[in-house]
Amino acid sequence: MESEGYYLSLTKGRFGAIEKRFKESHLKIGDRTFSLRDFRIKMLKSSVKIYSELFNEITKEIEATQIKLIALIKEEEYFFQRQFGKGGIGI
């Protein structure tokens, strides 16, 4: 089964309480504005899933940043081991 990707999940009751305002609202991130009306809504038996391409974009940015962070940590660890040996500095 293919993954559904990233989404927000709400109970049907909570979504019902905000649905009208949700569909009329906009989300501003930096200089970009997103109409919440363009988000995909999937009604399930007792919950609601809200999907957006925005979630995928943000996730890709987070994943790329994590990869860079891991590379930096490995680089620093390698430098530290070269400087102080594998046993560390023995504090």
* pLDDT digit string (tens) for the chain, length 91 residues: 357 788 999 999 999 999 999 889 998 888 989 898 889 999 999 999 999 988 888 889 999 999 999 999 999 888 888 887 766 555 4
Task: Give the integer Cα–Cα distance in Å for 22 and 44.
Answer: 18
Q: Which residues of 10-38 are buried (b: 16+ CB within 10 A; e: fewer)?
A: beeeebeeeeeebeeeeeeeeeeeeeeee
Question: What does the pLDDT read at residue 51?
Answer: 93
- Report the number of secondary-structure helices (H) and strands (E) in the chain: 2, 5
- Percent of the chain scored above 90 by pLDDT? 49
pTM equals 0.63
- Residue 39: CA atoms inside 13 Å, Cβ hemisphere, count? 26
Average pLDDT, the chain: 87
**Are 8 and 54 within 8 A, CB to CB?**
no
